Structure 1
Amino acid sequence: MEIFRSLALVVFICAATFSWAQKNDLGVWYMYFGNNKISKKWNWHNEVQYRNFDAVGDLEQLLIRTGIGYDLSENNNNVLLGYGFILSQPYVNGEKKENIEHRIFQQFITKQKFGRFNLQHRYRLEERFLQDDFRMRFRYMLGLNIPISQKEMLPKTWYASVYNEIFLHFDSSVFDRNRVYGALGYVINKNLRIEAGYMNQLQESRNRGQIQIGFYNNIPFNKN
């Protein structure tokens, strides 16, 4: 029963953020992240993000990413090669346009633990094949998960999640954007967790907030 009460509270938080988004013209991103072991060293990354200009129905971007990763050390220091498909529908002079991007990316993730603080560093290089252009971009993210209701990130644990990520171009306009995020999360079991939070995205020409609802799946596919 405890898990159902906890999940009901998460759903309530999500419903409140939907209402807040509609009243304040914030976007909402619905996100699924899978990171599944396929052997002792190898993992499969799978990800879908459905991003809206409002709470639901006004598509801003559909992002699908996948990749194969390899642990350089046990459950840490992971290198990954991946591909992303991005369908964007921005407003240009009041009218919606459609853009498609194909993206290849390479990344390195390393984790550290200091007491309750679970840190993650992610370094990502992207080769972006746009409809009429090619660009390269570097991203660095520093993320932090802090368990609240228990000392460790164990099942039935509430936790706080924060991150900062900077995006840099490989051309004269180096700065692309910066994202700052804060959320409340719940560990359902050792392989599943859910988060609801707020992200502020700063770009050269605009500063916009996003509500984010994320589901994380780490169920292993290998027998062990």
Structure 2
Amino acid sequence: MRKVFTKLVFTILSLGSIAASAQENDLGAWYMYFGNNKISKKLNWHNEIQYRNFNAAGDLEQLLIRTGIGYDLTENNNNVLLGYGFIISRQYINGEKKENIEHRIFQQFITKQKFGRFNLQHRYRLEERFLQDDFRMRFRYMIGLNIPVNKKEMLPNSLYVSVYNEIFLNLDSPVFDRNRVYGALGYVINKNMRVEAGYMNQIQENRNRGQIQIGFYNNIPFNKN
């Protein structure tokens, strides 16, 4: 299984080098950390940091920090969450880089289903976005699927395929904001940690852009049970 993990590491490094050499092709890179840690039997703490670049590294497009407290309506499923996000965004306008700061409150509901090897997740999220000179509201729906490859379950030392589609809809005009399509190869390190490397294509009204993504997931519980 060490060979499998080594192959995944080489895949991640290869994706990083692709992003480094493809800046002129409008290919960016996102480096992401996601934490979902149990506080009690029903409560969980969500925490994440996403470092998004126009290129492989160094040219920051967006820094996103998000946190929240969730509650399971049923055992380990049907989670409702209230959260907050702090976002620094930078855009090139007429060759000059402009910075915007956003404070975001969000509410979400996640439900999971399992069909054999297929681990399905639905996420519904409502966002209240406090921009520097504006206020906006947005709805997001994501459907994601994880499929283990070399084992029947998402167990330690297993490889898996991850895909998702997420649509963003504004509550004002224009209604369509963006759509994201994602595919990745993942590796389960242990029962509480996994890593993914993949590609996401983001479609906006007048822009279509690709992103190399590398993500680390931490589910280490804080409660003794």
Q: Aligning the two structures, in what range does the TM-score lie when normalised by the shorter sequence?
A: over 0.9
Return the letter of the residue paired with 1:217: N
Q: Partner amino acid for 2:164?
A: Y
TM-score (norm 1): 0.97
What is the alpha-carbon distance in structure 2 between the residues aligned to residue 7 and residue 60 of structure 1? 30
CA offsets per residue over residues 112-153 of structure 1, 9 Å max, x none? 001100000000000000000000000000000000010100
What is the CA distance between 1:10 and its match in structure 2?
2.1
Quote the Cα distance in structure 2 between the aligned partners of 1:6 and 1:97. Answer: 43
Instruction: Measure, in 1, the Cα distance between the counterparts of 2:43 and 2:78.
Output: 12
Q: Which residue of 2 aligns with 1:165?
A: 166
Aligned pairs for 1:64-83 (under 5 A) are: 64-83=65-84
Higher mean Cα deviation, 60-69 or 24-33?
A: 24-33
Give CA deviations for 1:40-67 in whole Å, capped at 9, x if unaligned: 0000000000000000100000000000
Q: Distance in 2 between matches of 1:126 and 1:147?
A: 32
Percentage of pairs with the same residue: 80
Please say if 1:99 is aligned against 2:97.
no
For the pair 1:135 / 2:136, whether they are aligned, the reply is: yes
TM-score when normalising by structure 2: 0.97
Shift of 1:7: 3.3
Query: Which one of 7, 10, 15 corresponds to residue 8 of structure 2?
Result: 10
Deviations 1:182-215 (A, max 9, x none): 0000000000000000000000010000000000
Describe how 1:108-187 pairs up with structure 2 within 5 A.
108-187=109-188
Aligned to 1:97, the other structure's residue is in SS state: strand
Q: CA RMSD in A?
A: 0.8
Q: CA deviation at 1:6?
A: 3.5
Runs of 5+ consecutive residues of structure 1 not aligned to the other structure: none
What SS is found at the alignment partner of 2:150? coil
> How far did residue 8 of structure 1 move?
2.6
Q: 2:205 corresponds to which residue?
A: 204
Gaps of 5+ in 2: none
In 1, the alpha carbon distance for the partners of 2:49 and 2:17 equals 23
Q: Does the 8 Å contact 2:121/2:145 carry over to 1?
A: yes
